[in-house]
């Protein structure tokens, strides 16, 4: 299967590397507007075709699929042209900058019978899939709340704010775990370095099942943090993507509610027998590490070859963008809560 990569900056170069390594895929060509980036790719992969204009790729009849890894503002236009040229596509997050554009891409892909996939890489992460297993099996009990921090010092972007750059990861993970969209979003942030571009954002998501989620995003923080905590009625879990040996930590801790009948005679006051603090073991499961990007791209190839629906399809991208849109509107209106548009 012949694949091209459009946009070979830091992440695009990683995509090209993994595609080159896949046994059932061929890195056919790469495109970038910067000649020095093409020269760098050519030095690593001498047989790969290069071009400064992505429209040149449409002339390549043997080309099956395209991976779009440009700046977010160009995702929609390039993806639309690729689909109209009958190419299967994988678009890096976010799918687009508006839900209307996402819906249009989905419509074109369905009409053309092409695979449209979004690069929500963490849904292919072994640790995140272990979290999903715990939630689905009910090991954590009822989910009370989730909070996530994705912080670092740089890289500071000029095309989108920190929320649009980082939050798609956290939002996609939360939606993957919860399997429902939030009904309401609140966001507040600060533009410290550049006017009109938030460097730090605090997002708050409310779900219809009374679960809440909080996301702290910043590219202006002294430490690199990639950490998510999930608190349930039975157990609590910390997922730390920075950790090498203990990415998942399960805490058998919580508050147990005992009935009067169960506790009668054991406690002196009414308050004592209502709530009991439980502190159990900490469990760190072994996660068999496979590079998530390799899992993601292998899945993309498999979906194209077998006509399957991707885990992170266009609708997955649309749901994330709808939340980001609502959060952006909240940012621009002083943190006023915003409803998330209807589910598809």
Q: Report the candidate in 75, 86, 79, 90 with the shortest Cα–Cα distance to residue 114.
A: 86
**What is the per-residue pLDDT across 164-185, written as a single tens digit (0 to 9) for each?**
999 999 999 999 999 999 999 9
Q: Where are the domains positioned within the chain?
A: 2-122+292-312
Q: Report the candidate in 330, 312, 340, 328 with the shortest Cα–Cα distance to residue 93.
A: 312
Residue 28 reports pLDDT greater than 80 = yes
**What is the per-residue pLDDT across 231-259, written as a single tens digit (0 to 9) for each?**
999 999 999 999 988 999 999 988 777 65
**What is the per-residue pLDDT across 145-165, written as a single tens digit (0 to 9) for each?**
999 999 999 899 999 999 999
Residue 312 reports pLDDT greater than 60 = yes
pLDDT band at 288 (very low <50, low <70, confident <90, very high): confident
**What is the per-residue pLDDT across 95-145, written as a single tens digit (0 to 9) for each?**
999 999 999 999 999 999 999 999 999 999 999 999 999 999 999 999 999
Residue 343 reports pLDDT greater than 80 = no
Residue 264 reports pLDDT greater than 70 = no
Q: Report the candidate in 84, 93, 2, 4 with the shortest Cα–Cα distance to residue 51.
A: 4
Q: What is the mean pLDDT of the chain?
A: 93
pLDDT attached to residue 277: 77
Q: Tokens 């940012």, residue? A: 331
pLDDT attached to residue 280: 82
pLDDT attached to residue 262: 53
Instruction: Output the CA–CA distances (angstroms, integers) from residue 286 to 5, 21, 28, 237, 244, in the order listed.
Output: 34, 26, 37, 14, 11
Give me the percent of the chain exceeding a pLDDT of 90: 89
Maximum distance among all alpha carbons in the chain?
A: 82
Instruction: Output the CA–CA distances (angstroms, integers) from residue 105 to 178, 187, 210, 283, 321, in the order listed.
Output: 25, 27, 33, 43, 13
Residue 80 reports pLDDT greater than 80 = yes
Residue 344 reports pLDDT greater than 50 = no
Helix (H, G, I), strand (E, B) or coil at 227: strand
CATH number of 2-122+292-312: 3.40.50.720
pLDDT attached to residue 265: 53
pLDDT attached to residue 127: 97
pLDDT attached to residue 342: 63
């Amino acid at each position: 299967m012949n694949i091209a990569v459009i946009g070979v900056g830091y992440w695009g170069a990683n995509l090209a590397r993994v595609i080159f390594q896949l046994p059932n895929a061929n890195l056919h060509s790469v495109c970038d507007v910067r000649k020095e980036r093409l020269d760098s790719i050519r030095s690593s992969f001498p047989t790969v075709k290069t071009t400064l204009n992505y429209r040149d790729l449409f002339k390549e009849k043997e080309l099956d699929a395209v991976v779009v890894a440009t700046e977010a503002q160009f995702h929609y236009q390039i993806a639309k042209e690729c689909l109209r040229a009958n190419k299967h596509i994988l678009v890096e997050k976010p799918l687009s900058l508006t839900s209307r554009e996402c819906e249009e891409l989905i419509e074109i892909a369905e009409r053309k019978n092409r695979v449209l996939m979004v690069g929500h890489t963490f849904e292919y992460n072994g640790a995140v899939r272990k979290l999903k297993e715990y939630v689905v099996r009910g090991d954590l009990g009822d989910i009370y709340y989730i909070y996530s921090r994705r912080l670092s010092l740089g890289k500071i972007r000029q095309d989108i704010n920190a929320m649009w750059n980082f939050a798609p990861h956290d939002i996609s993970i939360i939606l993957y775990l919860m399997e429902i969209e939030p009904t309401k979003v609140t966001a507040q942030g600060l533009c410290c370095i550049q006017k009109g571009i938030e460097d730090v954002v605090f997002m708050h998501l409310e779900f219809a099942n009374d679960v809440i989620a909080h996301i702290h995003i910043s590219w202006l923080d002294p430490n690199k943090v990639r950490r998510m905590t999930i608190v349930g009625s039975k157990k609590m879990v910390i997922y730390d993507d920075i950790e090498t040996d203990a990415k998942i930590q399960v805490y058998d801790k919580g508050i147990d509610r005992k009935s009067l009948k169960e506790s009668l005679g054991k406690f002196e006051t009414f308050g004592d027998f209502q709530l009991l603090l439980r502190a159990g073991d900490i469990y760190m499961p072994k996660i068999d590490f496979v590079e998530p990007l390799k899992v993601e791209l292998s899945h993309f190839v498999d979906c194209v070859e077998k006509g399957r629906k991707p885990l992170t399809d266009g609708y997955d991208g649309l749901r994330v963008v709808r939340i980001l849109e609502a959060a952006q509107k909240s940012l621009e209106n002083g943190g006023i809560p915003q409803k998330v548009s209807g589910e598809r």
